[in-house]
Amino acid sequence: MKPERLVSLDAFRGFTIAGMILVNNPGSWGHIYPQLAHASWHGWTFTDWIFPFFLWIVGVAMTFSFDVRRAKGDSNGTLILNVFRRSAVIFGLGLFLTMFPFGLLWNHHFDLSAVRIPGVLQRIAICYLIASFVYLYTSLRGQVIAIGVLFVSYWLMMFYIPVPDVGAGVFEKGRNFASYIDSLLLSGHMWSVSRTWDPEGVISTLPAIATTLFGALTGEYLRRSPHDKTEKSVWMFVFGAGFLLLGAFLDMWMPINKSLWTVSYAVFMAGWALCVFGIFYFLIDAKGIKRWAYPFVVYGMNAIFVFVLSGVAARTMGMWKFNVQLSDGTFADVSIKTIIVQNLFEPYLSPLNASLAHAVAWISVMYLIVWVMYKKRWFVKV
């Protein structure tokens, strides 16, 4: 018998991807509400929820996916080959977004020798690959131990390995062990804003893998626990609150920091993921209250597709320019995005709200596309 689909997970995935598109597409990067931007360094905002939530969802989802495939008779070897394929595709899509439009359109400067290698989809691919190995080839106890090893390894490296001219145990921007390793291994291929460190760098990927494994542990609990759905919701809140307290406690030694994906951040965000998903699970799966979540389910069923589509479309509208006359009578090349914001939103709203209105309009347009796909049962799987 085909297992019951976890609709709350589809909705939570849709909520997360919609949030990701929202914060990635303001009308102006100079006018953003604080909660719609990452914390400047230490600390967290709503925006800092999004990436760990998605990795956590990957962990939950893979437990259900592997269970279905195993029921069909697939061996671990077959599953790992599929994991390698999916990881390669996701990593490739990340590189595609980074390189688009490959120097072919709109005077885009393209230099393969300076292409950024890390990225959001690239990190998802790596975390999914390694977490899958851990999940398929260890017990529940082994997964807990793996999280501990990842955390302890990160903690020891960040606190006790000295950085030349800096020292050990430093968590300043660009002056820490993670940044130092990025500069050694990824020189010339990092985030364009810094070029000296990367928010999806090498060392910070270790606790990000643990975030994915936290999701896998939750998936195992949802699949195996004899508790009814309401009880499961309660226990997710209990453990979520415990992780929030633990993350806040660890913050006294290792600051909560998304760019470094610190241990405190990984634990803290696992707590938030449990609590927020617990709400979705309680309302949708335990109580059957589903209508409010329909738009999120629509988004969640084509999450990777709409993320890539949004990225390509946003870059296209930012690069495609027309020569227009400005208010002072001069002419300048202005992007389609700027023309839209200046004519549809800025005349009627404050700069902050005009920027937000563009982001809301953007996720609405993306929603219409995936809604049509949902109605036609077109689901793009990678």
Indicate if the pLDDT at residue 380 is higher than 60.
Answer: yes
Task: Please give the torsion angle defined by the CA atoms of residues 147, 148, 154 and 157, in that order, rounded to the nearest 10 degrees.
Answer: -150
Encoded tokens for 221: 């609990």
Question: How is residue 325 written in tokens?
Answer: 């006359």
Residue 224 C-alpha from the chain's centroid: 27
- The answer to whether 76 and 136 are in contact (CB under 8 A) is yes
pLDDT at 1: 46
Q: Where on the phi/psi map is residue 103: left (φ > 0), alpha (ψ -120 to 50), or beta?
A: left
- pLDDT tens sequence across 212-255: 999 999 999 999 888 899 999 999 999 999 999 999 999 999 99
pLDDT band per the 50, 70, 90 thresholds, residue 197? confident
Instruction: Please give the pLDDT value at position 3.
Output: 57
Report the pLDDT value the prediction gives residue 194, as an integer from 0 to 100. Answer: 64
pLDDT per residue as tens digits for the range 322-355: 887 776 777 788 899 999 999 999 999 999 999 9
Q: How far apart are CA 32 and CA 300, in angstroms?
A: 25
d(Cα 303, Cα 18) in Å, to the nearest integer? 9
Per the DSSP assignment, residues forming a β-bridge with 331 are 325
Reported as a single tens digit per residue, the pLDDT across 200-220 is 999 999 999 999 999 999 999
φ and ψ at residue 230, rounded to 5 degrees: -65, -45
Mean pLDDT across 307-321: 93
pLDDT given for residue 113 in this prediction: 82
pLDDT over 60 at 45, yes or no:
yes
Quote the percentage of the chain above a pLDDT of 70.
Answer: 98
CA atoms of 126 and 153, how far apart (whole Å): 18
Cα 214 to Cα 235: distance, rounded to the nearest angstrom: 15
Query: Contact 211/127 with Cβ under 8 angstroms?
Result: yes
Q: Tell me if the bond preceding 255 is cis, omega within 30° of 0.
A: no
DSSP state of 253: T
Tokens 């990927």, residue? Answer: 205
pLDDT, residue 27, reads 94
Count CB neighbours of 228 within 10 A: 10
Per-residue pLDDT, averaged over 76-81, amounts to 95
Phi, psi of 163 (to 5 degrees): -100, 135
- For 133-179, write each residue's pLDDT tens digit: 999 999 999 999 999 999 999 999 999 999 999 999 999 999 999 99
Distance CA(216)–CA(360), nearest Å, equals 32
Is 243 in contact with 271 (CB distance < 8 Å)? yes
| For range 20-34, the mean pLDDT | 95
Look at 67-81, 171-185, 191-205, 224-238 and tell me which has the smallest mean pLDDT.
191-205
Phi first, then psi: give them for residue 172, nearest 5 degrees.
-75, 155
pLDDT at 373 over 90: yes
Q: In sequence order, which ranges of 281-350 are alpha helices (DSSP H)? A: 294-300, 303-319, 336-340
104-108, 339-343, 372-376: the lowest-pLDDT one: 104-108
Can you give the pLDDT at residue 16?
Answer: 97
Question: CA quadruple 13, 18, 21, 23: dihedral positive or negative?
Answer: negative
3-state secondary structure of 101: coil
Task: Provide the mean pLDDT of the chain.
Answer: 94
- From the list 80, 33, 35, the residue with the least C-alpha distance to 357 is 33
Nearest CA-CA partner of 220 in 63, 21, 379: 63
| Dist CA 183 CA 195 (whole Å) | 9
CA distances from 224 to 38, 73, 203, 220 (A): 36, 20, 33, 6
H helices of the chain, in order, are 7-24, 47-71, 76-99, 120-137, 140-160, 177-185, 205-224, 229-250, 263-280, 294-300, 303-319, 336-340, 351-375
pTM of the predicted structure, to 2 decimals:
0.95
In what helix (H) or strand (E) does residue 321 lie, and over which residues does it extend? strand 321-325
> Which residues are within 8 A (CB) of 133 and not within 5 positions of it... i.e. 6 or more apart?
80, 83
